[in-house]
Amino acid sequence: MSTSERTTDRYVCPCGKGTWSHHCDYPDHAYARPSYSFALDCPECSRTWVVLSGTGFPPTLVREADRAEYQAMIERSRAATKTLQEYVTMHCASGWIEKAATFKTRKELHTWLRSNKFTTLNLPDFYKQGSDRGYDKVILAMLPWMDRDKLATHTGHRPPDALYDALDAAKEAETAAGKAMHANAITCGTVKVAEA
Ligand SMILES: [Zn+2]
């Protein structure tokens, strides 16, 4: 069994009657990085608040309801993205394969794909992926990321604007929910409680 050292800092919770704590565990083996965990010790606050931690922002207390709403919005934008991409894959694939077949050589096709920024693969990698996975698969993988004008031009099929509007609306709602959550958040560590 390895032993690890744990340090705990306690801070005043949102209601002011209890604490929430910031634990740091230092494993005693080489190259191990410390791990952090957070806990709401106050029974009252733990009913309405959760600790949000991640890279790029300090550990923060957010209302459970805000977080749940934000996560629901993330799911909605994911679903809208999936719906659009599935539509594109279903309705634009044959036109895209036909377009690719109009090039005399794979090299010409690759040059055209590169110049239109449809692929970042260099020619040897394009050949390699084409022989490993099949050229149709490699070419079809570019479709979901293409904008509607290019889809219309190069596949002969323009997906309905309603699908893009639904995605834009879902992304906006996600951003708004994220902002609301962070506006209601409390960044950890403002009022530290002295160790007894
Ligand atoms: Zn509390």
pLDDT at 104: 97
Ligand 1 centroid to Cα of residue 178, in Å, is 23
Distance from the alpha carbon of residue 196 to the mean position of ligand 1, in angstroms: 19
Close Cβ partners of 20 (under 8 Å, ≥ 6 residues apart): 10, 11, 13, 38, 39, 40, 41, 42, 45, 49, 51, 61, 188
Do 38 and 118 lie in a common domain? Answer: no
Q: Is 6 helix (H, G, I), strand (E, B) or coil?
A: strand
- pLDDT, residue 149, reads 96
- Spatial neighbors of 24 by CB under 8 A, at least 6 apart, are 6, 7, 8, 34, 35, 36
Q: Are residues 129 and 80 in the same domain?
A: yes
Overall number of domains in the chain: 2
Say if residue 95 is in the same domain as residue 43: no
Q: How far is the CA of 66 from the centre of ligand 1 (A)?
A: 18
pLDDT value, residue 3: 63
Same domain? 167 vs 114: yes
Q: How far is the CA of 7 from the centre of ligand 1 (A)?
A: 21
Q: Are residues 188 and 174 in the same domain?
A: no
Domain that holds residue 138: 69-179
The reply to whether 8 and 38 lie within a common domain is yes
Q: Are residues 108 and 161 in the same domain?
A: yes
Whether 77 and 174 share a structural domain: yes
Same domain? 123 vs 98: yes
Q: How far is the CA of 49 from the centre of ligand 1 (A)?
A: 9
List average pLDDT for each run of 10 residues in the chain, which is 196 residues long.
75 88 82 84 92 78 92 96 96 97 97 96 97 96 93 96 97 94 77 66
User: Closest by alpha carbon to 69, among 158, 181, 193, 172?
Assistant: 181
Whether residues 168 and 109 fall in one domain: yes
Residues 97 and 120 in one domain: yes
The verdict on 120 and 145 lying in the same domain is yes
